[in-house]
Structures are given as C-alpha cells and as structure tokens.
Amino acid sequence: MNPEQARQIADTVVRDTQFWIALIGILGGIVGALIALLSSVVLHWLQGRKANALDRVRKKLLKELLEARDWRKLSTLSRVIGADEETTRRLLIELGARGSETVGDPGEVWGLISKHPLAKIE
C-alpha cells in the first residue's frame, strides 16, 4: 500500500467518524429534550391530580351545605371547606351556585341556581 492510498483511507475513516459523532450528538439532544418534556408533563399531571381531588371533595361539601339551606354566607362556606374566598367563589361557580343580588345582605351570600334561578330574582 502506498502512502497516497493510506491517506485516502485515513481521510475516509475520519469523515465517517465525524458523521457518526454528529449524528449521535443530534440524537442525544433530541432524546434529552423529549425526556425533559415528558417529565414536565408527568409532574404537572401529578400536581393537578392532587389539586383536582381536593376540589372534588370541597365541591361535594359545598353542595351539601347549599342543599341544606337556601342561602349561605361566603365566609361560612370558606371556613367549612378550608379555602380562601376566591377559591370558594370559583368552586361555587363550577358547582352551579350564584351570589345573591339583594343589597344590604349581612355579608356575601350564595345559593344554588337550581333553588334560585336567575329568572326568578328575589
């Protein structure tokens, strides 16, 4: 084998090696990004699942409270379910409740729309 042939073989090997190194680097980057994305989605799902379970329990308790009486104070509802007033309002709306339109109530009161339809405003 003459030196020119050896040089051509060496150049070919170097080019092939560089190609495979680049390909493996690109694939590694893609796989790493997919793993990071998947772990983020799983973490978000697990956190959401816990919050959703708590919301379901709170809504069930709110429904029981609102079915037992016509109107309930927001402060009482918040205290019973262990949530702040904004969270309680959100859960009440999701549950199908509404606030009273009566001016001068001794605090914000809520009731189920099924018991107090908007068409029959008091």
Do the beta carbons of residue 83 and residue 91 sit within 8 Å? yes
Residue 68's pLDDT band (boundaries 50, 70, 90)?
Answer: very high
pLDDT value of position 33? 95
On average, the pLDDT of the chain sits at 88
Domain boundaries along the sequence of the chain: 3-120
pLDDT value of position 58? 95
DSSP string, 44-108: HHHHHHHHHHHHHHHHHHHHHHHHHSS-EEHHHHHHHHT--HHHHHHHHHHHTEEE---TT-SS-
Question: 3-120: which CATH architecture?
Answer: Orthogonal Bundle (1.10)
| 9 DSSP assignment | H
Q: What is the pLDDT of residues 36-61, one digit of tens each?
A: 999 999 998 888 787 788 999 999 99
Q: What is the pLDDT of residues 2-34, one digit of tens each?
A: 888 878 888 888 888 888 888 999 999 999 999
Q: How far is CA 61 from CA 69, 79, 116, 121, in A?
A: 13, 12, 19, 25
Do the beta carbons of residue 98 and residue 118 sit within 8 Å? yes
